[in-house]
Structure 1
């Protein structure tokens, strides 16, 4: 039966494809990262794109290069902030940095490597800590902090050295003032700290490490890598550190099995010191394959030589055509390019720094002969054979025939050689074109052969040294020339740097000014936009061609405008106003620069005050026209109502007058003029003093006094007539009391009183008094409508007199009887 794969197995199967796609798209390999972390990040991408199956996501990656980059960014978990774990930095300062700086010579730089620096907060935290320590010790050294990360965007962010205001939560106020410059809503690292840190993009797995370091800080990076990768990196850190160098790890990380490489300074915060020990494992240098053993036809990378000739094809063709022996292909520098067969009996891994140089790999007894043979082959371009070469391996000695053959071809690079290791006693049958050196077997012959070999090796060495010496002289001359050029370039760069710094400062100042102006412009633009959006005044802005530039929302009641109508001719827009000369009037205003104002009516019956004005810039340049529409419908309605009321009041037969709170007449209609005989001009200008007798003048003024509402008015200076002038003496007090009631807000209707006309006639009138208030409801005047009831009162008094006479006569009759 077919075995059903579990989801985990399915994920594992597709994970290799995903690693391949990331490696192809970005050049970075995540195969040694912890797969649980990788899986969580991939599942997050699935959720983002709403993809359910991992195989569907693989297909999506294959056809979407941008998603490969997005996944790569997601896998780079760049969580960091300033002085993360403050207690750890305090321990670092007390127990490591103080001793480090004290022990440093004045001319010796402090070199620190921040591995996986993200956006630079940790690098700058350590830079600030070192700066504080140097100030405390009054000892200043050159500081080189190498901040590396895989994420180029994070590196660019760190290079800017600008961080948000939120860092104030992690950085003390003292450090903010000392090491940062406040710019708007950000903090910028000062130059003295910024120049300590060098940011660089680096692949920790593939790129060469930094060396001669005083400290390596690799915090919270190892936790994302599997054990295999951690075991490669920790010896690498040990190698890069100086004696007694510091290793600073994250609180959740450890040195694992490498306890003999480092001693513990603080176990809680994972601070270690490098021990002076010999590495029991070879350091796995990036980009240098680890030499282990040589199996038949090891699968080295497919490489080409010359005009695209494949190495494997070339070697296998030579070997299969001529040999069935172990052999290796080397280049002019004696570096191994290809292995065939089991060569571990003749070659071994070089000690110290990893190398594929065949002379360093040669076992004891083989090196001299091999060096001489390679030298002669390159020089003579003939096959060289040494028979009976004694090779030692693990204390055993084996005799071999060493054959070195040059590879010469039209499309082959210079210096290729094939080295063949043959245990056979005779090689003549295999190599018909070799130069053979065969000696007898007695002991003296062997000694002579060994002496000859030594002489040849010595001669070869001398020739190589002479060649190397000439090359070194030539190289030295070139280096001196290059050094002079570099010195000249350095001086030019210093000059350029100073000019750039000056230019940068000027640009910074100009940029700050521009930013300030931009902010002001933005604020003004926001104010204008909010004003236009909130105003009820419909406004259209036109350019010199009478094309629409912008408009307010309120204008949409009158014109059918949408945002896409900007730049259209105003005459092309339909409107809801009953006015046909808008375009002509607009053009006239633009030509004459004389504003025009007129009331227009909309199709809905509303009235608007239309104003057309030239658009003037701050430089007093005419740059178009502004048309505004103010809704005056309520004003028009009020004016109409006022005109109607004015007509009613003016033509009424009743006397209607208005008086202020002191009793001074301020309005006088035709009915009042007809009733009392005074024209409007006379009633408004005459003074009460002109109508009162000498003995009543003082009394009249005293009666008016309560109406002044607390303010003394000299009535002798007044040019207006008081209402008291028209009141008979016996009714004046009653009239004044009525006015007080009106002032108190009481409505008075149907009050009967007496008035005096111009000719002295006493009239009976019926009053209706109404208060007039302002917008705030305050009493400002009193309106009085007075109807003449003199005839009615005369008839009433006559009737009452008749009734009284009848009653009197009746009483007399009763008395006589």
Structure 2
């Protein structure tokens, strides 16, 4: 698990507009409105909104968002070009992605309930915009958006999340905060201001430098070391400053001192900074000419050298999200085909150890699923052979996945993988200072077998370790490991954290003559240990080798098959059993056990070795020391008492053989019973697994439908609020006209009326639903009911002048009630007071 692949994100292709992806689910309408309401009309950003929707209903989201922003809000269509200062909304039942500055709609590949439309959008933004991509996760249930934010973060983009305490449904924000590198967390209405501040120039880069930036940087690295147990002080200061400046911009800070105070008050920021430093950008077959040379020239030589039945071992240090490790496995598979055709025998298998410091990158690599860009990077033939379609991307085929073992590993602090045939460390050393480079290159040389291959990045060289490596092609940075011997004592093994250097100095030139800071006492102790201390290994109670001192190759050797660093497996046949007995005895009796003159070979005819097994100062650990092997000869005296015990040992051996035979018979019978029980349990486990998968699928489908219903309910509630407001407006409008109006349904029953009607017809709220003929009125109009029915039957307009019992005149108009769909739903009767007009008319006639 080496250090992560610390590579700066590749610059994205020029784009005319920067895109902000907004993802929400249940309870997301309110935060969407709050976010968009804060957007100025000239931000220069385009906004793409994805919300979980019911695919069987027409969406109202576009109409609802138009009320909160002055920007145009458009429902997305396939091929629509993104424009700045506009909002684009996903339609129901579609997956929305961004490619080349255009929107793309595709039918969902997953069944309803398992769809992750927000992840799809964010992944496409990361692939299309790289470091310019922006993703925002708002309220919602489930975990949609988390993987998409991871992709944006790894591409160097900005990731924002609504603070869970302000979200109506906090599951989506909480998942994003737990598993994705989130840059900004705030309430929905505050996210836009924080985003615009982060898009400005990074803080701390102006002319007004902080008073003591080196001291502040030291304080930040110290807290990072205490929080993560990883020391980044050996990184180039320029690299660290560039990554920290990005965090300064996110928080709107102006100096390293202010950021140091922030991480002191908010330790969770250290996790975000650590992930920021670990951002790695890689791809399949990056620098194709290097991989072609590795396949056509280097790999055939390695395959020819490996004995039959032995694995070819490779280590990819800083594998990031796994593309380079899988590329190496594909190159081996293609070279193995050529080897089989050339020699007529199977090629040696490959075991790739791929490691990185970033747990997020390792998780992605282990999953082995990548986006649609894989098809362009590997080509159609490799795509068909080594990948399988998965969602909108591709998953690594099982045959390729089985060849790669991913692990988290720190190349600075953790022991390296050894006995390697190939070591790939590309674009990692360039981020380390000169002192760390001088320490790591001999370590790489020790890890490789003589004749192994070292692959570096295009900007990296072996520097002062030229005696260990011979260039194959300096341009492609491929090197053979030379046969020059290198003792383990000359290598600085990273087995424990080293004390941090409190000062930061500029990188020194790569020079072998650079003075060392090691004390004379340490130098003397190392020289004495190398000259006089015996070869030894440190093991635990199970015999696992934890540390190697000196050269132990004469006594221990790796076993064939899967790598196994256990002394019981690696010990030479002649000493394997005595060492196991001595280790058990030392553990039980807590004392040193001496084993003089053990034969290395079963026949005991060549050499003998003295072995000492002693408890180490730390409980549970033991030191197994080997004295240099001595040749055996007939004249050499044998240890005292050896002849006298031979007969007793032979008798004990025969007794042990009989016991072993009996135990073997019992073991075979038990194995048969266990096999039957195991098969039954496996069958039951398969059934339970199937039932569990069905229940999980049902749960996810129910959760998705619940989210869609929540979204629909929120939209309908908003519509109801609008309708209630419109009803109030209409009621006030009718009352303000002071015109008596009566609404009747198709059965001429009262449906609604205005206040002035009560002066003519005795009505109150409880009369809603009563027939018109049952109502008492002051009108001298007995034909009112008949005229209303006539209007309803013929749809003709009726108008009459009618008097009242108190001497007033009214113009009565009866018209059909038409809906927006042009359906007749009753009649509308209006009563207009014309008493004044009639009185004026009467006076004019009399005059």
TM-score band, normalised by shorter chain: 0.3 to 0.5
Greater RCO structure (CA 8 Å; 6+ sep): 2
Give the TM-score normalised by the residue count of structure 1: 0.43
* Higher Cα Rg, which structure: 1
Give the TM-score normalised by the residue count of structure 2: 0.41
